[in-house]
Amino acid sequence: MKIIPDFAKGMGRTLKHAIGTSFAGEADTVSYPEQEKPRPARFRGRHILNTYENGLEKCIGCSLCAAACPADAIWVEAAENDPENRVSPGERYAARYEINMLRCIFCGYCEEACPTGAVQLGMDYKLVDEQGEQHDWSKRDSFIFTKEMMLVEHGKGRPDPLSEALDERLKENPDHDRVW
Amino acid sequence: MSLIEFLTNPYVLGFIKALVVFAAMMSMVPLLIYAERKIVADVQVRLGPNRLGPLGVLQPLADAIKLMMKEDILPAGVDKFIYYTAPFLAIVLALCAAAVIPFGPASWAVVVDFNHSLLYSLAISSISVYAVALAGWASNNKYSLMGSLRAAAQMISYELGMGLSLIALVMVTGTLSISQIVAQQNVMGWNILRAPTLFIAFIVFVICGVAETNRAPFDLAEAETELTAGFHTEYSAFKFAIFFMAEYVNMLIISALVTGLFLGGWSGPGVHYDMVTHTVAGGWPFVILGIFWYLVKIACFIFFYFWLRASLPRFRYDQLMNFGWKVLVPVGLANIFLVGIFFAFKNHWF
């Protein structure tokens, strides 16, 4: 006969939740397109390719990200920099930088492998929304994101907790060698 | 023949009343579906339907349109006649039971009022098992057959408990007419309090009522987790919609019966029935008031149904059978005995 207090307890619990949800608006779900849940600071979304303040790309075309990628989703083709008209500060730059978003598992190993902090996983997760109506998603090729789609201006990238911490350290010690 | 004469002709009046009750019952169904989805969502701490219309009230309409537009599939190897008959049997029997519900304290507020309406409603609810059993049998599907086997076994066992609880009730009221039972309660107080052990009959009746309508936690006949959809696995489009509607109409009927038999029916503040003249004090506005009280009580009980569904897990098959035969039937029998003893002492038979 333990079943009776057990049932009463369960019914009480559900009633408490029902009252909380309907009168106090404590629903755990959100109306998605209008509202979004806050993403955590280290959220791994769609990739971005960072640039320096002077407009040069951080990527030096070393392909370490492609080597680190467990899903084999990254394709990098490097080219020599023209000293007159540089694309990146290093010897080489990425002439092609493509990520197949259908293969990508958003693990973030590319970001860890990158020596210059060029590729980062951004905060955006609505891959389809951002490319606009004219993008034909019925073709598999359209999921290969190119360099142009991922490049961001300096300071427009993700608010990186690590680089923010680095900025703090630079303020404290201006002689600190900022490698990337 | 004047219009009044025509309208008060018993056949014409009966037809009109039946039409009104039919329309009311069928228009309640989308309301109930919406209410259920919202209440279950609240219990599960989520928002529920909120896209179509203000607060999502048009969602059941969209569901209905979707079901009507869908392809009507006839699976291979079904018994065509029975396969098509079963859903209509379900809805027709559910609506038949609504005929004897006295919605208000006047003869025009009940479709047909006769002396053995309680027996009639028990009989109808017993026949309802045919709809489920035939649907499962005609579908030529193992899941459907399992579902309808379960439904048949469950309904037979729980019908017994329901009947036993009603015997105790009828011993107290001395009549089998539902409208008389409700009218008595307006004068004598609610039946649940009229004899010291009658609340046991109430509890047994409520449990059996939930089991009779195949609602959670007794929804073994359509247990999604094991039997895909049980007896209506092979039903699609509008035939499925009809099963769905029948389930909700059945819930309304059981709620109306519970409130009518145990919780005073249309009695409430302001409604005073005269047992001698068989009229309600104040005329027709108070009949409407009575209907309002009845609907309020039904709404409360329907909420209880949804709350139960959102709270309790489904019984296992052996637990269900044990509970029916080893708990409800003995309790119902003992309750008849106790009520008998109570009346024996009360009437000084010793």
Which of A11-15, A23-27, A68-72, B337-341 has maximum average pLDDT?
A: A68-72
Task: Tell me the C-alpha to C-alpha distance, in Å, between residue B139 and each of A69, B83, B100, B186, B217.
Answer: 52, 6, 32, 47, 25
Query: Pick the residue with more confidence: B166 or B221?
Result: B166
HEC secondary structure over A64-90? HHHHHCCCCCEEEEEEECECCECCCCC
Counted domains in chain B = 1
* Probe site for chain A from B34, B37, B38, B43 (most A CB atoms < 10 A): B43
Task: Tell me the C-alpha to C-alpha distance, in Å, between residue B111 and each of B14, B19, B104, B166, B258.
Answer: 6, 9, 11, 22, 18
Query: Could you tell me the pLDDT band of residue A178, with boundaries at 50, 70 and 90?
Result: very low
Structure tokens at A80: 């020599």
Order of strands across the sheet with A92-100? A74-80, A92-100, A144-145
φ and ψ at B96, to 5 degrees?
-60, -40
pLDDT of residue B107: 73
CB B288 within 8 Å of CB B120: no
CB A147 within 8 Å of CB A96: yes
CB B291 within 8 Å of CB B297: no
Residue B342 domain-assigned (yes or no):
yes
In this complex, is the C-beta atom of A15 within 8 Å of any C-beta atom belonging to chain B?
yes
Q: Is A164's pLDDT higher than 70?
A: no
Residue B69 domain-assigned (yes or no):
no
Q: Is A71's pLDDT higher than 80?
A: yes
Structure tokens at B293: 């009280």
Residue B184 domain-assigned (yes or no):
yes
Crossing angle of helices B117-138/B237-262, nearest 10°?
Answer: 150
Structure tokens at B179: 């409208």
Give the pLDDT mean for B313-337. 87
Residue B13 domain-assigned (yes or no):
no
Whether residue B49 has a cis bond before it, omega within 30° of 0: no
CA B336, B341, B342, B348 torsion-angle sign: positive
In this complex, is the C-beta atom of A29 within 8 Å of any C-beta atom belonging to chain B?
yes
Nearest to B109 by CA among B263, B286, B276, B281: B286
In this complex, is the C-beta atom of B39 within 8 Å of any C-beta atom belonging to chain A?
yes
Give the pLDDT mean for B110-132. 85
Chain A environment of B311 (Cβ under 8 Å): 7, 10-11, 13-14
Q: Domains in chain A, please, with CATH? A: 1-32 (no CATH), 47-157 (3.30.70.3270)
HEC secondary structure over A11-74? HHHHHHHHHHHHHHCCCCCCCCCCCCCCCCCCCCCCEEECECCCCCECCCCCCHHHHHCCCCCE
* Percent of chain B whose predicted confidence (pLDDT) is above 90: 4
CB A116 within 8 Å of CB A60: yes
Query: Could you tell me the pLDDT band of residue A170, with boundaries at 50, 70 and 90?
Result: low
Q: Please give the distance of CA B103 from its chain centroid, rounded to a whole number.
A: 14
Pairwise CA distance, residues B291 & B277, whole Å: 20
Residue B265 domain-assigned (yes or no):
yes
Contact B43 A29 (CB under 8 A): no
* Probe site for chain A from B51, B307, B311 (most A CB atoms < 10 A): B311
Give the pLDDT mean for B223-242. 81
pLDDT of residue A177: 46
Cβ-proximal residues to B141 (8 Å cutoff; 6+ apart), any chain: B75, B233, B234
Residue with structure tokens 């005995």? B337
The alpha-carbon radius of gyration of chain B (Å, integer) is 21
Pairwise CA distance, residues A111 & A97, whole Å: 14
Full domain range(s) for residue B257: 75-346
